[in-house]
Structure 1
């Protein structure tokens, strides 16, 4: 059994990884922690920061700072999850790629030979309604999808 876990750094995606580890341990499966870094999302955050600081001239500096911090943050989360998985005796690895989140997730989920895709119900924003990415991708993913709350 090969399980894809979508990791965005939120507590819900981390919880999803823990569920995937539990399933993989019982089924002698492999877990792949998967994260997409989206430049458009980073640009939007940087733009809002530059407007708030009233310094649109610093947009590029803000963008590079947010990009660097985003990469560092997701690597830290994935490193922690890998340590947990290995400690629990789970065969696990990771992939971090760049691109449009929806497109890259669908591409990976549908072409990677996965038995199950696991994701958190909510994203980093912590909104109380189901995450917009979940709404965008869940109906287009071929393998079964487990949504963790």
Structure 2
């Protein structure tokens, strides 16, 4: 069996990865850590900075820096999780794609490669309301979906 774990940089996705370790050990499963980087998020952050600082002539520069930082941050997070999996002797890989989060998650989850999808109940915002992504994909993911709280 192959388990897809959605990683978004939140503590909730870290918890999902820990739960997937236990499942993988019990089921002798392979794990794929999956993350989507959305340029729209970088653009929104750059725009917010521009409007708050009043320095809008460098908005494209801010966007580029934020995009680069997003890549760096997720790669660091994935490396940390991968080292933990290695210590548990579980076969694990990571995959980072660029695009719209909902579409890319559904494409990967419904590819036919996975027997289970694991994700955190909440996203990076830390709001107590259920994850927006979960609301968007919950009924459209074909494999069983484990939501970790």
TM-score, normalized by the shorter chain, greater than 0.5: yes
* Structure 2 counterpart of 1:18: 18
TM-score, structure 1 as length reference: 0.98
How far off its partner does 1:112 sit?
4.1
CA distance in 1: counterparts of 2:48 and 2:133, whole angstroms? 21
- In the alignment, which residue of structure 1 is the partner of 2:118? 118
Aligned to 1:42: 42
The equivalent of 1:140 in structure 2 is: 140
SS in 2 for 1:113: coil
Instruction: Could you tell me which runs of 5 or more consecutive residues in structure 2 were left unpaired when the two chains were aligned.
Output: none
TM superposition shift of 1:133? 0.8
Structure having the larger proportion of residues in helix: 1
Map residues 48-63 of structure 1 onto 2, 5 A cutoff. 48-63=48-63
Q: C-alpha displacement at 1:113, in angstroms?
A: 1.6
Aligned residue in 1 for 2:31: 31
Aligned residues: 149
> Deviation at 1:131?
0.8
Q: TM-score, normalised by structure 2?
A: 0.98
CA RMSD of aligned residues (A): 0.7
Distance 1:5 1:43 in 2: 26
Superposed, which structure 2 residues align to 1:83-98 within 5 Å?
83-98=83-98
For residues 59 and 16 of structure 1, the distance between their equivalents in structure 2, rounded to whole angstroms, comes to 35
> Does 2:132 align with 1:129?
no
